[in-house]
Amino acid sequence: MAIRNIRENGDEILRKRAKEVDNIKEERIQILIDDMIETVHAMNGVGLAAQQVGVLKRIVVIDIYDGNGPVVLINPVILKTKGEHEVEEGCLSFPNQYAKLIRPKEVEVEAFNREGEKIRIKAKDLFAQAICHETDHLNGELFVDKMLPGTLQIVKPEEIE
């Protein structure tokens, strides 16, 4: 396993549509998934989409640190959403930046897991938010596209004396 470099805002790959994966069991896909999990954990992130590590494949990993993760979603499709609420959000491709936006409170998503099995997940709150954020990435959409005007905050890491 290896930690991969995160592509940051301004890198054009973040604006591209990722392609469906049809060879889930292939070794390089499995290695990519392992690396994405290691990378998101190393960055203390909640989620990561493959194009954030420079690979245009429809793969996301999510871990909300509730003991059930990490969750791997391949070719995810959001089937239903329910409710909405205002949330604060950041992104590993936008270091130290946060904004508020409206996300669904609940989502139902269909995807394949890393074994190639079709799965369906009902998620709410932070897990639902992460699924929306990461599936947006796969379509080249970023959280700043949807942020409520005037809510972008840039938090500078404290200077070390």
Mapping DSSP to helix (H, G, I), strand (E, B) and coil, where does residue 129 land?
helix
Q: How far is the CB of 95 from Ni ion (least distance, A)?
A: 11
The residues facing 74 across adjacent strands are: 59, 112
Which residue number places its CB atom closest to Ni ion? 91
The side-by-side arrangement of strands in the sheet containing 94-103 is 85-91, 94-103, 153-154
Size of the site for Ni ion (CB under 5 A): 1
Please indicate whether residue 134 is annotated as part of the active site.
yes
Other C-beta atoms lying within 10 Å of the C-beta of residue 143: 24
Q: How far is the CB of 49 from Ni ion (least distance, A)?
A: 7
Q: Name residues contacting Ni ion, limited to 79-98 (CB under 5 A).
A: 91
For Ni ion, give the closer residue by CB, 29 or 62. 62
Alpha carbons within 13 angstroms on the beta-carbon side of residue 39 total 24
Q: Residue 91 annotated as binding? A: yes
Q: How far is the CB of 47 from Ni ion (least distance, A)?
A: 7
Phi, psi of 138 (to 5 degrees): -65, -20
- Report the interface residues with Ni ion, using CB under 5 A: 91
Query: Residues at the annotated binding site for Fe cation?
Result: 91, 133, 137
